[in-house]
């Protein structure tokens, strides 16, 4: 199982190196959002955020949400890659070989986690270059990294399931859009919840991304920490759903 998964992982990482355009776009979108919201909207929005860290530092408020946006954007390649493998017939060939069936999915998911971690490091480096600072200690950073890694793993498995449901790679890229853009924007990533209309505020308060964002803010800025049961729940749901779909998937 481990050897087969490692082989599939190498295959997916080589594909990513050979076709880096999608990986580059995954990093570019959060960085553009970071620059746009901080330098264009930051003055107006930051002045109205009483709870922003460092007495109104909007960049400090913004960075946790941008990190979540990075993970959401990075969930698209794994859905597209799995759908491409299924539609091109390579999975049917893998099924005739003496390899662990789960290794095909594991290679995609672990490869996506590695690429997402690299993207997070790049986005965080850009934020630091822009002036992002935090008083978080080493332990807080370790917990923040664990939170991000768990959500990355969960969304990767969830995207693997969505990719199997899609009929075309183009469809796979669209089916993950709610995780890529809708949920991050309908959360506390860019503005506080109390600035939203009642109906939207209720949805934003109880959807998964807000809880993770508030947890990161609590670890990095000392604000109240949100409830983080969502990360483990998404991971478990995505893992079992993805494996069940793969075991039932007919040859395309």
State the pTM of this model.
0.86
How far apart are the C-alpha atoms of 188 and 224, rounded to whole Å? 13
Q: In the prediction, which pLDDT does 129 show?
A: 93
Handedness of CA 7, 177, 64, 207 (dihedral sign): negative
Contact 133, 38 (CB under 8 A): no
How is residue 114 written in tokens? 């590695």
Q: In the prediction, which pLDDT does 207 show?
A: 85
Domain hosting residue 137, numbered range = 2-248
How far apart are the C-alpha atoms of 68 and 212, rounded to whole Å? 8
Give the single-character DSSP code of 43: H
10-residue mean pLDDT profile of the chain (252 residues): values are: 76 77 82 90 66 61 92 88 84 72 84 91 94 86 91 91 88 83 86 86 87 88 67 81 78 49
Q: In the prediction, which pLDDT does 208 show?
A: 84
Contact 98, 63 (CB under 8 A): no
How is residue 10 written in tokens? 């190498």
How far, CA to CA in Å, does 36 sit from each of 138, 143, 179?
Answer: 30, 28, 20
Give the single-character DSSP code of 18: H
How far apart are the C-alpha atoms of 22 and 119, rounded to whole Å? 12
How is residue 119 written in tokens? 């993207």
Length of the chain: 252
Give the single-character DSSP code of 194: G
Count of the separate structural domains present in the chain = 1
């Amino acid at each position: 199982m481990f050897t087969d998964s490692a082989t599939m992982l190498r295959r997916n990482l080589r594909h990513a190196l050979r076709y880096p355009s999608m990986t580059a776009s995954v990093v570019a979108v959060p960085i553009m959002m970071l620059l746009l919201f901080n330098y264009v909207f930051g003055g107006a929005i930051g002045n109205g955020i009483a709870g922003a860290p460092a007495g109104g530092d909007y960049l400090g408020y913004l960075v946790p949400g941008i990190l979540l946006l990075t993970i959401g954007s990075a969930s698209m390649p794994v859905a597209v890659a799995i759908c491409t493998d299924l539609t091109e017939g390579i999975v049917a060939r893998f099924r005739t070989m003496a390899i662990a069936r789960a290794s095909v999915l594991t290679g995609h998911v672990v490869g996506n986690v590695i690429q997402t971690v690299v993207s997070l490091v790049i986005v965080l480096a850009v934020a630091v270059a822009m002036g992002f600072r935090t008083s978080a200690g080493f332990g807080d950073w370790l917990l923040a990294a664990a939170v991000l890694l768990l959500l990355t793993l969960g969304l990767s498995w969830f995207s693997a399931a969505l990719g199997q449901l899609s009929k075309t790679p183009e469809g796979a890229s669209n089916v993950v859009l709610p995780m890529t853009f809708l949920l991050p924007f309908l959360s506390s990533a860019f503005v506080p919840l109390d600035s939203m209309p009642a109906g939207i505020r209720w949805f934003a308060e109880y959807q998964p991304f807000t809880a993770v964002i508030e947890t990161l803010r609590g670890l990095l800025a000392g604000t109240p920490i949100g409830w983080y049961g969502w990360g483990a729940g998404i991971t478990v749901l995505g893992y079992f759903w993805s494996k069940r779909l793969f075991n039932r998937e007919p040859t395309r």
